[in-house]
Amino acid sequence: MSTALPAASVEHAASSRRWYALAVLTAVYVFNIADRYVISTLIEPIKAELQLSDTAIGFLTGTALAIFYTGMGIPLGILADRIERRGLIALSIGIWSAMTAACGAAANFTQLLFARIGVGIGEAGGTPASQSMLADLFPFSQRVMATSIFALGAAAGSMLGSTGGGMIADEYGWRSAFYALAIPGIVMGLIVRFTLQEPVRGVLDKVEADDAPTLKQTLAFMRTQRSLVHVLAGGTVVTYWGWGLLWWTPAFLQRSHHLTTGAAGALTGTISGIAGAIGIVAGGLLIHYFAKRDPRWQVWTVGLATLFGTCASIGVYTTDSLSLASALLWLFVPVAYLNLAPILTLTQSLVLPRMRALSCAVLLFGANVANLALAPQIIGLMSDAFLAHSTAGAQSLRWALAVTTLTGFWAAYHFWAAGRDMRRDLERAGTAL
């Protein structure tokens, strides 16, 4: 007597596991972003207690994290293409959560610096392995929507870090904000390790997942994928533009519009959470609709949206009206988030299955150098330069941010150019359209 389950039952069970894994990995991403960006809301109280300049704050909050986050990303991406991804993600969560707590315990600049370095090392192993798993759980036709759900973690994490961190800081001090966000990460690590199943690599594509290629072979293949090169370039520049501006926005609202730490965190957190989610979902639906007819719309939609968002961002940082700046943030922020899902999807779909984690790590290397290393540092340097060599005074940060908005036009060009070879490159990667 056969004990085999009906095909419908097997498919239902597989579908349930697929969506459960997506929910868990999205929750992990929420705490990844919250732990990383809560410090941007806490810049002013940290600066006051430790008596730091904007240049020092830029190094502490961004560059210190980025050096090790990006430096460890490539080797951990290579590792994720070779070992069980579930265990790597769980270990990464534990490390970055412990180091987030250490940020709260830091007594001086040096201790906080080393704690931020630890956060960067832990976070480097999370997203590449998660994206590689999702590409083996969802076919190409569903990847944008699945990755859009995953990317909602960025909006939710920003809201949690900004709003929650600001409220806790106002009530209990900035150190307590770090402690409160570190605890849930330990729980998520255990959930990942003991409840997720490792998917078979390449099972949904037209090519078999053979032994993992070398770093040299993977990079050589990626260089020949012209659309991927533009996606990576566009992803780097758009992250510098969008997330670099948002990184300094709480401090801008406190200095130029005289909001408290909690009020600035609540405003940016609410907009990031709600408008960011709208941008991700609406963008995902639009891209899913148009890309079914022509895959090039995955990048063309992002390019058009980035042009619109750049114009809105110019207004945010040049107006003297808080109400107008807030209204324009509701237009700018969705665009800053809209690009996440298509960029992450294409870095998985434009390479072979055993290249996916490394491809994502390369994307994150460029994006996070731009976002964490360059944007906080360069904007901080520009702000100090305007303060020292112009009559900007307390408005020096405003004009540093206004100059930075112009990089959005550069990003839009790369998304337009990426569409030219999209069909050919998807075929070379063996992606089943």
Burial class (CB in 10 A: 0-12, 13-18, 19+), 275: buried
Distances from the Cα of 218 to the Cα of 129, 156, 376, angstroms: 16, 33, 31
How does DSSP assign 345-389, residue by residue?
Answer: HHHHHTS-GGGHHHHHHHHHHHHHIIIIIIHHHHHHHHHHHHHHH
Predicted local distance difference test score (pLDDT) of residue 26: 92
Distance CA 43, CA 59 (A): 12
Provide the percentage of residues in the chain whose pLDDT is more than 90: 32
pLDDT in tens, 105-118: 988 888 888 888 88
Could you tell me the mean pLDDT of each successive run of 10 residues in the chain, 433 residues long?
Answer: 51 76 92 83 84 77 74 85 90 92 88 87 87 85 83 83 85 90 89 90 66 83 94 94 90 90 84 86 80 83 94 95 95 90 86 84 85 83 89 88 96 94 87 61
User: pTM of this prediction?
Assistant: 0.73
Q: Which helix (H) or strand (E) holds 202?
A: none
Q: For the chain, give the number of residues.
A: 433
Q: What is the pLDDT of residue 2?
A: 47
CATH code for 16-194+201-428? 1.20.1250.20
| Residues 261, 393 contacting (CB under 8 angstroms) | no
